Amino acid sequence: MEIEEKKVELIELFYDLIYVYAISRLTTLVEEPEHGVIPVADLLRWLVVCLVILQAWLYLTNYVNRYGEWRWWEYLLTGANMFAAVYMSNTISRRWDEMSGTFNLAMLSMLACVALMYAVHAAEGGERAAAARNSITILLVDCLLYLCAFVASLVSAGAIVVWLDVAAVVCGAFLPFFLRGRFDYGIINFPHLAERFELLTIITFGEGVVGMTGFFDPARPTLRPVLVFLLIALMYGGYVLQLHVLSERRRVDRALRLMFSHYLIVMAVNLVTVSLLLLENSSANRTFVAVLMLASLAVFYAAMYADSVYYRSGTTFTGTDGSAAVMFLLVGGAVMLLPWPGNGYGVLTGALTVAAGNFVMLERKRRLGLRDTHI
């Protein structure tokens, strides 16, 4: 079934600009190693904060996708949401524990704005009111959890705050599975949602480009910036081939797989950026950097290929494709872990092996698809 693609409005692009800043702040949580490695506590904090801000972005994006008509009150509440998002972004630092109260209050404000938008549509009635009430239920549960986290932060209950934030992420992610009985799939505009996720991923790759600028030293030209640039370009090219070229957008689908996979894609690209930054840090353990880069690439390509269910008719992700992707990862990992000199060439060469192999495989699939189309 084909549907009309909903246009991405300029206000949505303006909203995304805040997340350029938020994503850039994420790297500050994990870019300072201790004894050569990133502490587990820092990685867990990064994971929780990353999931929270991605969910905040998704709540408003889902509303716009399903109901957005950009009436005056939608602009007003979106503006309030954006205002709170800037405050939320500024709390993302290694001193996050000290600012968790502001973080949770900002999250509460952002989700309350979206809940009010859904409430208007539920009050207006109509055939889509039941789906709006589903979303309000999820948002109210999350608002209650963020309110509790804010109150807990006032009494310096650090561990409880983190666990309440985790609970909010889990509820936001999994409650839709239990409320699907009254959900109307027809309200989702899959082409619009796919484009929104593509734009968010492009923002994350943009942050990766910013992160790699330290390699481009005009006073000391080397081969390293070439390898870094090729790595980011090939990863981005593979993503475009998989999600934009090979996938069919005009469908009716709840797109939960698309959402979850892009959580992982964005996080993986951000960790690749962190790995590149650590390559420039002489105190970072090279084996740790190699493992972090390898794990990030593994998550990136696994999440990306999970979206192969959205391929165009006649195109499939085969067992041979999966075996090839694993082989590229294993070969690249072996190259990364070899005892190279401490200049980062081993990690970059191995990562480039993984990215180049997957890009060539996807490009070949694209060419085969074109050939079959013309037969």
State pLDDT tens for residues 82-122.
999 998 888 887 776 777 888 899 999 999 999 999 999 88
Percent of the chain with pLDDT over 70: 92
Same domain as 125, residue 250: no
Quick: pLDDT tens for 6-18. Answer: 888 888 988 888 8
Provide the pLDDT for residue 77: 94
Residue 197 has pLDDT above 80, yes or no: yes
Which residues lie closer than 8 Å to 3 by C-beta, 6 or more apart? 189, 190, 191, 250, 251, 252
What is the rounded average pLDDT of the residues 18-43?
84
- pLDDT band at 217, cuts 50/70/90? confident
Name all contacts of 141-145 with Cβ < 8 Å and 24+ positions apart. 141/171, 141/175, 142/111, 142/168, 142/171, 142/172, 143/108, 143/111, 143/112, 143/115, 145/171
Please give the average per-residue pLDDT across 252-277, as a whole number: 88
- As for how many domains the chain has, the answer is 2
Query: Coil, strand, or helix at residue 351?
Result: helix
Same domain, 231 and 355: yes
SS3 34: strand
Question: What is the spatial distance between Cα 169 and Cα 153, in angstroms, rounded to a whole number?
Answer: 18
> Looking at the structure, do residues 113 and 124 belong to the same domain, yes or no?
yes
Can you read off the two tokens belonging to residue 1?
Answer: 């079934």
Q: Which of 160, 188, 216 is the last residue of a domain?
A: 188
Same domain (yes/no): 201, 292: yes
Indicate whether 286 and 178 sit together in one domain. Answer: no
Looking at residue 266, its pLDDT comes to 93
**Structure confidence at residue 4 (pLDDT):** 66
pLDDT tens column, 57-77: 999 998 998 888 899 999 999
pLDDT tens-place string over residues 278-337: 888 888 888 899 999 999 999 999 999 999 999 988 888 999 999 999 999 999 999 998
Cα–chain-centroid distance for residue 360?
24
Q: Are residues 238 and 169 in the same domain?
A: no
- Predicted local distance difference test score (pLDDT) of residue 348: 92
Adjacent-strand bridge partners of 247: 311
At 6, list the tokens: 């909903």
Among 34-43, 52-61, 340-349, the minimum mean pLDDT is found in 340-349
Distance CA 308, CA 238 (A): 13
Domain boundary among 139, 164, 188: 188
The reply to whether 140 and 216 lie within a common domain is no
pLDDT the model gives residue 1: 46
pLDDT average, residue stretch 213-220: 76
Residue 104: other Cβ atoms inside 10 A: 27
Interatomic CA distance for residues 231 and 224, integer angstroms: 11
Residues paired with 37 in a beta bridge = 34
Tokens for 135, please give them: 């979303």
Clarify whether residues 234 and 141 are in a common domain. Answer: no
Q: Do you know the residue count of the chain?
A: 375
Angle ∠(329,34,223) on CA atoms, nearest 5: 50
Question: How many whole angstroms separate alpha carbon 2 and alpha carbon 8?
Answer: 18
Domain end marker among 167, 188, 209: 188
Supply the pTM of this predicted model: 0.90
- Dig out the tokens for 261 from the structure: 């996979």
Distance CA 184, CA 131 (A): 6
Q: How confident is the model at residue 3 (pLDDT cuts 50, 70, 90)?
A: low
DSSP state of 180: G
Q: What is the pLDDT of residue 271?
A: 92
Residues 175 and 218 in one domain: no
**With bands split at pLDDT 50, 70 and 90, how would you rate the model's confidence at 342?**
low
- Pairwise CA distance, residues 91 & 47, whole Å: 15
pLDDT of amino acid 375: 43
Question: Are 125 and 58 a contacting pair, CB within 8 Å?
Answer: no
Q: Are residues 277 and 364 in the same domain?
A: yes
Q: What is the pLDDT of residues 124-163, one digit of tens each?
A: 877 677 778 888 988 999 999 999 999 988 887 677 888 8
Measured between alpha carbons, how far apart are the two ends of the chain, in Å? 24
- 156 and 287 both lie in a single domain: no
Asked if 166 and 306 sit in the same domain, the reply is no
Range of the domain at 180: 1-188
